[in-house]
Homo-oligomer: A and B are copies of this chain.
Amino acid sequence: MKVNDCPPVWIGPDISEPLNNWLEQAGYTKIWILTDRNSDAFCLDQLINKVPLLAKASLITIEPGEEAKSLASCEKIWDKLTYEGADRKSLLCNLGGGVVSDLGGFAASAFMRGISFIQIPTTLLAMVDATIGGKTGINFSGIKNLIGSFQHASGVFAQTNFLASLHPHEILSGYAEMLKHSLIEGGKHWQSIREMENPTASNLDELLIASIQLKLRITNEDFKESGLREVLNLGHTTAHALESLYFEQKQPLMHGFAVAAGMAIETHLAEHLQTGLQQSEAKQIREYIYQIFPPVKFTPDQINRLIDHMQHDKKNNAGKIRFSLLASIGNARHGFEASTTEIEKALNMYLTDVSHH
């Protein structure tokens, strides 16, 4: 089904028909597919069997994993596009998870000052988050998404039968962003999430559509993040710091797990800062997070390093650390500033919480 017009977004178990029609109408001069070795193995064959125009595309394959979201990968893409004769009416199809969509989106947006790209997400996280809203980016100097652009994809094609191939942890990772969207929207959306005891590839279809629609609504209203859109950073100031910490220690950490932990930590922060978030709602959120997601461990010694990483968050303004926090479930607000003491306290409370689980 098509759930949005600008940019066009399709969701369904099999999006090959709308994708094929769409490619035929658009008339690109040449097509490249950017993918990583995982998506290559699992999804590429399925796709090109059913979408003849993609069968002729040239392949650009990157290594799986966050390290590939680099300037070096951009250079590889740009070299290949140049060498193989891309022009301004060429298309880049990003087939993969968030790394592929963020990287490919940025590479396309800067090549010849912007060629078209489409997103074909293969992970839940990419379907509900990375490919929706037109943020592209690469990591630089150890900082996530430091370099990037705001550029809508020409189309997003979310084929939900790709989800069946995912490890349950990858479903959970994407589910954290769906949880976040439900906290921003509140009401029935949050109730449906709360009732979900065991999210899997096969029981998320309705929630997925609600999630994508919420994100589309917010990102269309404030495309370049001058305000409202920042509410989508709920949990993310902390999550990015956790990811930077794990990254520099060469330990894996799934984005959604960091976001879930970040949202739990930031409910404590919201309480300290008296955003209006009631203790009962804060506890409800934390209980649900601790029930569904594994804890993200760090030691008390690492708290200062986490705060260092927060200093580099793009949301900051004049050196102060900024958060998007809930004033209540269904009412997220942006632009809260917190002192390092308050942040420390929230991080410590999370450590206490998860030591009990």
Give chain A's interface residues, CB within 8 Å of chain B: 29-30, 71, 75, 78-79, 82, 85, 87-89, 106, 109-114, 135-137, 140-141, 143, 145-150, 224-225, 311-312, 314-319
Question: How many angstroms between the C-alpha atoms of A30 and B319 in the bound complex?
Answer: 10
A87 is contacted by which of B88, B149, B318 (Cβ under 8 Å)? B318
* Chain B residues with CB below 8 A from A311, complex form: 85
Which label, helix, strand, loop or mixed, suits the secondary structure of the A interface? mixed
A82 is contacted by which of B79, B106, B110, B146 (Cβ under 8 Å)? B146
Nearest B residue (CB) for A28? B318
Nearest B residue (CB) for A137? B113
A317 is contacted by which of B89, B111, B114 (Cβ under 8 Å)? B89
Q: Given that A82-B146, A312-B82 are contacting pairs, would A113 and B87 also be in contact in the complex, using a CB cutoff of 8 Å? A: no
* Chain B residues with CB below 8 A from A106, complex form: 110
A143–B82 CB distance below 8 A: yes
* Chain B residues with CB below 8 A from A111, complex form: 146-147
Question: How many angstroms between the C-alpha atoms of A344 and B225 in the bound complex?
Answer: 50
* Chain B residues with CB below 8 A from A146, complex form: 78, 82, 111-112
* Chain B residues with CB below 8 A from A224, complex form: 113-114
A57 to chain B, nearest CB (A): 15
* Chain B residues with CB below 8 A from A315, complex form: 88
A255 to chain B, nearest CB (A): 18
A29–B110 CB distance below 8 A: no
A148 is contacted by which of B110, B143, B316 (Cβ under 8 Å)? B110
Question: How many angstroms between the C-alpha atoms of A234 and B149 in the bound complex?
Answer: 29
